[in-house]
Structure 1
Amino acid sequence: MAAVSTVGIVGAGAAGLALATFLADAGVKTEILEKSQEPSSLGSGITLQGNALRILRQLGLWEEISQHGYAFNDLGLRAPNPQGTVLAIVDDARTGGPDLPATFGMYRPKLAAIMRERALAAGVVISYGQQVVAVENLDHGVRVSTEDGQSRDYDLLVGADGIHSAVRKAIGITAEPQPTGMGIWRAFVPRPAEVVRTDLTYGGSCYIAGYCPTGQQDMYAYLVERAQDRHQQKDATIMAELAANYGGPWKEIRQSLVNGAPVNYTHFTAHVVDGPWHRGRAVIIGDAAHSCPPTIAQGAAMALEDAAVLAELLIGSGEVDKELWEQFHHRRAERSGAVVKASVQLGQWLLDGEQNADVPGLMGSLASRLVVPA
């Protein structure tokens, strides 16, 4: 019998939907509280590494998801010259095992829709327009208060509500994401025929120029620069100007930008909650507990792994006790912390202009950890 009968989850992102589905499949009454008024249709592309695909397969979603994205098993490196010369094509680590692609790109809103439908089919209740304002630990449960004056009691509350987590703040964890010094332009554009994997260009007008195919017709492209105040300049013109310095597929990408492709600009931030991620019967997972720059594309994977491990422990344990929390923290803190550290380190090497950085060594060491299931 599961350690809990009712669970409240704050946030309808990947971590929240995955956890809710695992628990509902096991007969746990599960409700997601989402502050948005309706399902979000915003977003561009998402890169999913093999260890993320492993969790999605556990949810029974891989077959459907595989029809709505673009899989590849290698990584390209290009020169920052007008030709976009291909310098190398290297095998990418298959962190989900040999029977899953190394990397899979897809349209982020489509992934969210597939996961949402799976959760609803399992019996998960998703309540929209529910902004959490307070969390109170009870003797054998937790009480959640929302902005509309309602309150709900659960056996357990999970904050899967992202980097600006309301649950994290409500339970007294003071860690907050900190800027790393980089900013990123993203655009969702038609896929040039030449784009069949992620290619990265280091140097030129930006620190990194890259892209990821998300389907037969589309992809997302990104440019990483030193963080700037772009709040009044979030249009495709500036990204197009930066893209003009790169060759190969970037010529077509730039034309899409000139034609008005939607763009987004954000700053890189990172954080890891030091110490336990729970307070009483409330716990945080995913970006609420740890966040990192997308330099190694492991953010979604870490969030999904958090959800899978927590669900496994809750379903397989007789009660929510010290042993359960120690196991959860032992299995998740060091692993996710290593991902955050590596992601930040890669960016810092670029900021510092480090010429002798051991990028292959760092990535190889991390991949050898991630190929082992969480």
Structure 2
Amino acid sequence: MDSHQANDQTATPNRSGEPQTLGFLLLDNFTLISLASAIEPLRMANQLAGRELYRWYTLTQDGLPVRASDGLQVTPDASMHSPLSLEWVVVCGGVGPHRSVTREHVRWLQSQSRQLRRLGSVCTGSWALGQAGLLDHYETSIHWECLASMQEAFPNVILNANLFTIDRDRFTSSGGTAPLDMMLNLIGHDHGRELSAGISEMFICERVRNEQDQQRVPLKHVLGTTQPKLLEIVALMESNLEEPIELDELARYVNVSRRQLERLFQRYLLCSPSKYYLKLRLVRARQLLKQTPLSIIEIASVCGFVSTPHFSKCYREYFGVPPRNERLGGFERKSDGSKSPPLIRQWGSESNALEPSSCAQQALANAQGEPTFASVLLVS
């Protein structure tokens, strides 16, 4: 596998001198911070270079406005079916990607793949690429909340917990500010380290993280590296939810006694090891209930419960609702379609050959008075 080839920081400039064109496909409830983290490095690359290296368009399925997860409404540049000459397509996901991805999205992404586009994603956008079968046998990153459900839904996808992954013609990242690091690595590959470092300085980014950096799951965020044995035990638990490991066996794996194991959990996690293990299995079950169409019987099995009644009892005691009610309030919840989106300018109806003006061009024009304009000399 040619994984990580694109992370080579040797500059490979566009010999044609034309800007690379990206289309950002916005799914319903996408996360605005991830979109901004992906686009802002492109804007700054143009500003520091003093010319248009990158051009981008925001797209939706029908060209109508879409709401981000924070409720802000974004008007796209075009519909995904507009005749744009795209080189990269980036899917921007967010809350509930399994509800946001449509058959039309899937067909369009497959058509983009046939046209040899570079395909990427931010936050939970990997779900759309996975549903289209475009991540099979590719190493892939996604926000940690969706790791379990995506592994269940798309077993041929090679998932990891990295901040982002660049594997051949696919680039995928987790959420938040991780797309910033992914884009800085891609820009560094295209135009060299100096430009990537300059962008990092402009955004007060102390360090450009790479593909080896992993997402900090909540437990690691709380404990850091002060309790390596506890982290190792929890990692074993997380890796063995379908067939739970006995506590005595867990203790032997990390070379501690059962009593030491129980003391570690009581001191740092304020519960017994068995209760924490049960919590992990129930949390995963909740993710699968909300994010997949798996039956309750199937979910009980893959989360290590010997019977459905026992699973339902434990679930109700922990979350306060039975699994069936959770399913009705989660996976089957309908989005509010009562409000019609406002009309926006429809371009290209008279001539499909016309393209809308790119946001990049206006941003570059506005940046010409900045002291950093054209401050990085690129080798062309």
- TM-score normalised according to structure 1 size: 0.25
User: Higher helix share goes to which structure?
Assistant: 2
- TM-score normalised according to structure 2 size: 0.24
User: Higher strand share goes to which structure?
Assistant: 1
Bigger Cα Rg: 2
